[in-house]
Structure formats: structure tokens, C-alpha cells
Chains A and B, each alone.
Chain A
């Protein structure tokens, strides 16, 4: 008897530990109600019902467009919120929530006339007060805005002139404002929803866009459903009425290979951020449509540290530029998917200047002769000057594979050329700390997104956060400041061209390739467009 109890006890304990907590395969133990309900996959992937699944690389930190600083939030927010202006394919602002606007002679007062009859997804009418409320919210430090606040630039105040007229006043001219007003970060949220629960905007933003958030399941997915009342697409998009798709499920699938697999098995109808290694294979696939949309901003590049030996010598920087074969780097690092970049801004960005094409093209002889003129000579296969071997450190963020791959490929070319190059891969926070100090790195792999050439100002002026090159050139600083206050785009572009020329002549950066969002869908998903930031717009998309 006693023994029997013990046997049952020992088996029971094993079973007890294992099953006391849960019945497997059902709902997770004690899961909150809202996260245990998932849409059955069959319903989502059924093509006749206009519901699609997008395999999405990871969960955004917040969907609150006014707070977020991540491109990944923008890709979702673009479909939830509308913006005052819509930037068309040529980079010009066209009407969206604002039908027209004027700028006064001082270039600091913008007056917008707003579209009438627009309603937020919660029924709140859109009007001048909503715009005032949103801009003031962005400027409020308590909102902790990461991107939107800097996009508003030298913002001073905003006021409603009438129900559908709103006026923004700046402290000084800020030419990029209109471009930025077209990015999802400056999308307009429902004041009623924000006042009710500002925190809730992180997962359930309420805008006037063609889709609204139906559900947010942490670390899993966010489901958008069609806004049936939507009838105010920007004229530039040539669409009337609500969206065709009934729902979009952004499923957070961190593993890149799984995203590709999900598309191939039909579990997902679209995947965002296709790994370059799979992109060519998908391109060949008859059932798949691939897109390579450039992000506006800088290309992927290596920033030279202009304040640390030996890259503080412009001759050295120029020689290094010639010593690296970009095409080879792209082949080694990214399966040759992307195109070579030659200048500070990449193809598709306002201000992009194609004239740098071929500047610093791979030419080892030229690189060698520049170094020789600069007093370097080759000793035992290494470039040496005054007893010091030419050595550089290349920094990269270890978590971003592309960047460490680029750094390693560049290292290989430099070593071949006779430079002692070493790669230092660091976790992101450590990378930021090292780069900000600038005392240990010679080059670092990086890139910046931005819809306006004004990003050059945050990269190449002293004190700017993104000035990893620690570059300081009073002429360039003055020109960039001037450009940001010049109202006419054509005049601005002249200045930006001059600045870009200086930066390339002084070899402040080594452009590598034109970065783009690699995106793929099943063939029967059509009508997809991409906005100025390179974000997919699902408004006119439909399943055939």
C-alpha cells in the first residue's frame, strides 16, 4: 500500500510538474484574454475575401506616429493616418488633408486650407482644431516625440484661423517643413482618442486613413481593417472610395528565412524586408512579384572619422576611396542585389546628384600614387610613413548583418591594398557610445533615412548628432544653414549640389550602395504603390 502511494507519487509528480500549469496546445497559461484570440489562419489567407497577411520583420516600439522614430512604424502608420500634404513621386508636396497652402513673405508663416467632410476612425470630425491639437502634442515634452518634433524644426506656434484654416508659425525659415509634413510621423491623430487615452496611441492609433487598427497582439501581430467611410485619398494617388482590401495582418516574423518560407507556402501574401540572399531567387519565381524601392536619404556608406589619424588626412581618405571595389563589396555582402552608390544622397532622394557616378571608381594604381605623393611608401607590403603603418579600424553594429558584412568586405580590399584594416563589431548601444566619442574608430558603416536633403545638415555640421565623421568645415556649415532657410527648391538644390561636391572632394564618406526596401508579394496581389519614404501604400492594393 505504502509502495503504491510512492509509485503513484513519483509518476504523479513528474506529470504534475508538467501539466499542473497548462493543457498543451490550447490557450497559453493565464494569457490575457485579448492576446489569446487569434484570427484563424485560413480566414486570413483566403484570397477571395481580400484579407492579406504581411510577414513583417519585427514589432515596432510604438505605433504612435508622433512619438515613433522607427521607419518600421511608419510602414504601418502610413495606412492608418493621413498627412496634411502628400509628397508625389517627383518629391513635390501635393494636397492631402490640406487642399491648398500659402507661405508668407517672411517664409515663417504657413497657412493651410483643410479638406472638409473628413472624419477620424472614431467619428470625430477632422478640422483646424485637430491639427492645432496634434502639433501642440508633438511639441509637448511629455509626449517624448522622437522624430516628429525634429521634423517640425524651429516651430513656434499653431492656431486655427477658422474651422478649416490653420496657421503654423516658425521662429525662422525652415524649407524642409512641407516635405516633412508629408511623412507619417506628422500624421494627424483623433484629438478625442488622444485625450481619452494618450498611451493607447502606441498600439491603437486613431487617424483618418484608409485602414484602422482592429487588434494589436504583443510580439505577434497587428491587424488593420478597412475604414469603410474613407473617401478622401490624396489626388496624387488617383483612388476614390475606401480601400479594396478588407484587412491587413502584419505578422511579426523576426527570422528572415521564415518570412520567405511563409510567402512560398501561401501563409503570407507579402513580405517586408526580404533577405538579399533570397531576393534573386524570389525574382525568378513566377508566382512572386518583387519590389526594390529606394529609401530616400543617404546610401549605405562608411563615414570617415576626419579627426583621428590617419583618416584626418584627406589624401589618405581619397586613397582609401579608390582602393575599394564597391561592386565587389555588394557581391560579397549582399548577393549583388543593390546598385553602387557614388554620392552623399542616394537615387530617389530630392537633391540626388547623378554626376558623382564613377567618382572614386576602383583604381588601385591611383590610390597608390595618391599615397606616394602624400609621403607614404610600401614596406613589407604595407603602406608606411614616418615609421608608422597605415592602419584603420572599421566599426559596425554587430546586430545588423549587412553592416558587418560590408565592413568585412571593405577590410578585405584595404588589406589587399596594403592597409592594416581591422573590423570592430559592437552591439548597437556600444556602437553609439564609441562613435559619439570618435576617439577609436576611423570608419564606420552607417546610413540615414530622410525625405529632405536637409539631412546633410545633421550629418556634416559640427555638433549635429549624426556627424559621425566629426566633420567641421565652416563654409559647408554656413551653406547648409542657408539652404535650410531658402524657400525656393531650385535655389536650395544649387546649394546642396555644391555641398555634396565639397563632401565628395574631401572624401568625408565612402558611399557603398543604394539602400532599398526589398519587398515581395504573391503575384495575385496587385495595385501596390510606394510613398516618398519608400513605405508600401495598401490603399489600392487588391487580391485577384
Chain B
């Protein structure tokens, strides 16, 4: 187990290295001059652009720039964001909590809606409720979050005035973004729970449990749901990763602070250090969550051996 863990953690290194290299190449290969943009129309001459380019070290060759960045990263320094006038690590530390809070709340929304709808749909398979639950799941997967978000704002913010639109990123301000972000994930979870519960309920051990004379509800929860939740666990783990990514759109729509919005700004401004730092952090989180899910799966289901 321990050696498995160590091997998995070591395997993260080439992965993250590859990701950072790829991002570094892509952002540098996109045409554009971040220095001219930074100076804007107020620059008085082209000489000014050249001087600032040199000062930011952007006149060096790509491998040279990457190497310098890498050495700094190994020392825990993600560089300096020249558009935000702040250290990248500070910026991320400041904004990450908001994104995590949103992702976690969205995941709670997704699990609560997804598991309950999935169970109800499986139990009432083929009924009107089942159709309704599946429709909700499909809608959640199909509706783009930028549209859903605006719709929720118009209905609950503008028309009904139940929820403030721009007032705060936490508290009530979390409700609409969490639903916007969580609904899509809820759809996947609903379908997963439904199909695995239906499958589980046809297994021999269910028939055995019933034959023993156990109550229907007890059979469903203790024997059916317990087994159906195992595959769901994987989906939930992976969903958390995509929720982190989905926060990019939701943060912009709801004017929330967070690393998603920061990333958009950084890409638009070609803020190299900030883009690289953010992508590295997001990729690491994604990888770590995957690792946790894998290990967790082994813990709850001993049939799966971690080697």
C-alpha cells in the first residue's frame, strides 16, 4: 500500500512537468505581445516596449525562460504577475479559497440532488417520476452553465428578488452559483446511481436478502445502495475535478472572485507567469483528487487491490 502510494506520487512529477511544458509552449506560441498591451496606448515610443520586454526577461529564448521558471517553481516561487502587480503565489492563495468553496458547495448540491433523484428513479423504474428524474438529469448535462446562470439570475434575482445578485461571494451569494455548477454534475450522478442501483437490485444477494424476509427498505438501503454507491464514488471524484474547471465560467457570470476568473484574465492578457502558475495548481489538484479517489476506492472495496 505504502509503496503504491509512493509510486503514484512519484508518477505525478513527470505528469506535472509535461503539463507545465505544454502550457508554457501553447501560451508562448499564441501570437501576441503582452508588453505592448501592458503599456497600452500611453507608451510614448517603441523603445519603451523594447526596454520593458528586456526587463521582464521576455527577450530570452523559450528554453531559457522555461528553465528559469522551473528553477523558481522548485523553490516555491511561481513568479510575478506583471498585469496584477502581485506575486503569483499570493494571488492564487487569495483566490483559491473562493473557488474551492464554490466547487465543494456545487458538489454537495450535485450529490444531494443526484443521489436522491437516482434512488427514486431506480425504485420507480419506468414510472412518471423516473422519466422526470431522467429528464432533469439530461437537462442538467445539456444546458450550458453560462445560460443557466443568467436564467437563474433573471428569475431569482431580478424577477423574484429573493437572492442578491452581486452582494457577496459567500452566504446566500453561493446558492445560485452552486446550483448552476452542480446541476450538470447532478445529472451524471443521477444516471450513475439509477443504473447501478437497478443493476444491483437484480443481483443474487438481493434475492437472498428478500428471501430471508428482510423489509424492502432495508434491502434497498443496506444491500442495494451500498453496492451501487461504489461506482458512483469514482464519478463523484472525477466530477470534483471538472467542477474546478467549470468554475471558470460560473465565476465570470456571477462576478465571483476565484482562480477561474483570474485564469481568464491572465490568458487574455498573456500574463505568462500567472497562466502557468494557475494551470500548474489546477493540474496538481486534479491529479491529487484522482489519487485520493483511487486510494479511497481500494479502502472501501477490498476486492480491488492496490499494487
Contact = CB atoms under 8 A, between A and B. Distances in A.
A434 B111 CA distance: 48
Interface stretch (B65-73, B121-129, B168-176, B211-219): B168-176
A288 to B, nearest CB: 14
Contact of B42 (A30, A146, A253, A399): A146
B62 interface: no
B238 to A, nearest CB: 11
Interface stretch (A107-115, A259-267, A386-394, A536-544): A259-267
A259 B73 CA distance: 39
B95 A219 contact: yes
Interface string B116-140: 0000000000000000000000000
Nearest to B301: A6
Interface string A1-42: 001001101110110011101101111111110011010010
Interface in A411-456: 426-434, 436, 448-449
A258 B167 CA distance: 11
B111 A150 contact: no
User: Which of A29, A202, A429 has its CB near the most chain B CB atoms (within 10 A)?
Assistant: A429
A431 B108 CA distance: 42
B253 A255 contact: yes
A220 interface: yes
A29 B97 contact: yes
A137 B101 CA distance: 41
B30 interface: yes
A268 interface: yes
Given A6-B300, A17-B240, A19-B108, A448 B41 contact: yes
Contact of B45 (A38, A147, A464): A464
A432 B32 contact: yes
B88 to A, nearest CB: 14
Q: Interface residues of B: mostly helix, strand, loop or mixed? A: helix
A30 B46 contact: no
B25 interface: no
B168 A38 contact: yes
* Chain A, interface residues (CB within 8 Å), range: 35 or more
A276 interface: no
Contact of A465 (B41, B94, B107): B41
B45 A13 contact: no
A261 B154 contact: yes
Interface residues of B, number: 79
A69 to B, nearest CB: 5
B161 A265 contact: yes
Interface in A20-68: 21-22, 24-32, 35-36, 38, 41, 55, 61-62, 67
A304 interface: no
A502 interface: no
A265 B165 contact: yes
A69 B40 contact: yes
Interface in B150-176: 150, 153-154, 157-158, 161, 164-172, 174
A252 interface: yes
Nearest to A3: B226
Contact of B300 (A10, A18, A146, A258): A10
Contact of A9 (B43, B167, B254, B299): B299
B300 A31 contact: no
A428 B268 CA distance: 7
Interface in A185-223: 202, 217-220
B270 interface: yes
B282 interface: no
A473 to B, nearest CB: 18
B262 interface: yes
B105 interface: yes
A18 B115 CA distance: 14
A38 B252 CA distance: 20
Contacts of A35: 94, 257
Interface of B: 30-34, 36-46, 48-49, 83-85, 91, 93-95, 97-98, 100-101, 104-105, 107-108, 111, 150, 153-154, 157-158, 161, 164-172, 174, 178, 222, 226, 229-230, 232-233, 236-237, 240, 252-255, 257-258, 261-262, 268-270, 289, 292-293, 296, 299-302
Query: Which 7 A-B pairs have CB atoms at the shortest separation, nearest pair first?
Result: A429-B32, A219-B257, A430-B32, A432-B36, A41-B167, A28-B97, A433-B33
7 contacts: A6-B301, A22-B100, A25-B172, A26-B171, A265-B157, A433-B36, A436-B36
Given A21-B104, A150-B42, 7 more contacts: A3-B226, A24-B101, A429-B32, A429-B269, A436-B36, A463-B46, A466-B43
